Amino acid sequence: MAFAFLFAASNLLMAQQTNKDLKKDITSKAIRSARVEAKKYKRDGFYVALGALPLDKQLERSWMRQYETNDKNEPKYIMATGNSIGETQTAAKLQAMETAKLELAGQINTQIAALIENSIANQQLNNEEAASVTKTVAASKNLIAQEIGQVLPMVEMYKKIGKNVEVNVRLAYNMATAFDVAKKVIRKSLEEETKIAHEKLEGLMKF
């Protein structure tokens, strides 16, 4: 009994040390990447809003998200950037955010499309059904963008260009949430726009 307790405690300690080392490694990589990137942007004339985190800290936080993984050692977040130039800071920022969300949707759509393509053969769809699925999935990018919920703003920087303002943003979005959103959107589109049997649709979306 005592041995089992000691063994379990030992495993727990090793796991804690491993997680601690992993976090330390991620932090170290993020700091190095952020410093290099911050210097480049500052040389190009970018600055942050009054009261916001310093640019290197914003970039460090962004790199931390990029390096973060889930229990399966897969990326935990999808990252996207958006850039826009406008007469006002607010207008340019809104457009940059929308651009970033479209990029997020595009990345999500591409990954889902690849998974569905692998499922098509397994579900024994005929050529017409397969073509319908591929077409519907490809057209789902804007629908996915509309359904994207709470994003995590990582970086927000500005640059004066004459009388206009350039805004550069970087967003993070949880991968698991992204897949849930995309599956619901694509499933609904497939149900509305194709005549594929229900059981085949069920099989297509099992990934």
Query: Can you name the CATH fold of 76-207?
Result: Endonuclease I-creI (3.10.28)
What are the residue ranges spanned by the domains of the chain?
A: 1-68, 76-207
Count CB neighbours of 169 within 10 A: 24
pTM summary value: 0.80
Count CB neighbours of 159 within 10 A: 17
Structural contact between residues 79 and 107, judged by C-beta atoms closer than 8 angstroms = no
Q: What is the pLDDT tens value at each position of the chain, 207 positions in all?
A: 444 443 444 444 444 445 666 566 667 777 788 888 889 999 999 999 999 999 999 999 999 998 898 888 889 999 999 999 999 999 999 999 999 999 999 999 999 888 888 888 777 788 888 888 889 988 898 999 999 988 999 999 999 999 999 999 999 999 999 999 999 999 999 888 888 888 888 888 876
